[in-house]
């Protein structure tokens, strides 16, 4: 009986932890975005992104669902076109 209760308790904690992961991402990860008027499409940011969240065409675009908020792109932009959302 005690073992069943302990097992249920551990399972509940595990499920809670799994369910909370998307909320943690929403609460703490602030995806970067590109100010399109400022970007000169040099591509430097895309080369730095560790998760390939950036595509560069006429201007650079950051996929907010892929961005992990590392800030690497911001550090290399020559015209400070990347900001936090």
Point out which residues bind ligand SF4 (CB under 6 A).
Answer: 32, 34, 39-45, 48-49, 51, 53-54, 56, 60, 62, 67-73, 76-77, 79, 81-82
Residue 58: count of CB within 10 angstroms of its CB: 8
What tokens appear for 7 in the block? 């097992």
Q: How far is the CB of 65 from ligand SF4 (least distance, A)?
A: 11
Which is closer to ligand SF4, CB of 7 or CB of 51? 51
What tokens appear for 21 in the block? 């992961």
Considering only CA atoms, which of 62, 25, 57 is closest in space to residue 42?
57
Which is closer to ligand SF4, CB of 16 or CB of 57? 57
């Amino acid at each position: 009986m005690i073992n069943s209760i302990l097992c249920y308790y551990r399972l509940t904690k595990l499920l809670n932890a799994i369910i909370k992961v998307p909320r943690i991402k929403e609460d703490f990860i602030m995806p970067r975005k590109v100010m399109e008027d400022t970007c000169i499409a040099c591509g430097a940011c895309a080369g730095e992104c560790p998760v390939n969240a950036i595509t560069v065409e006429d201007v650079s675009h950051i996929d907010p669902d892929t961005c992990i908020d590392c800030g690497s792109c911001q550090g290399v932009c020559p015209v400070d076109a990347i900001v936090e959302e």
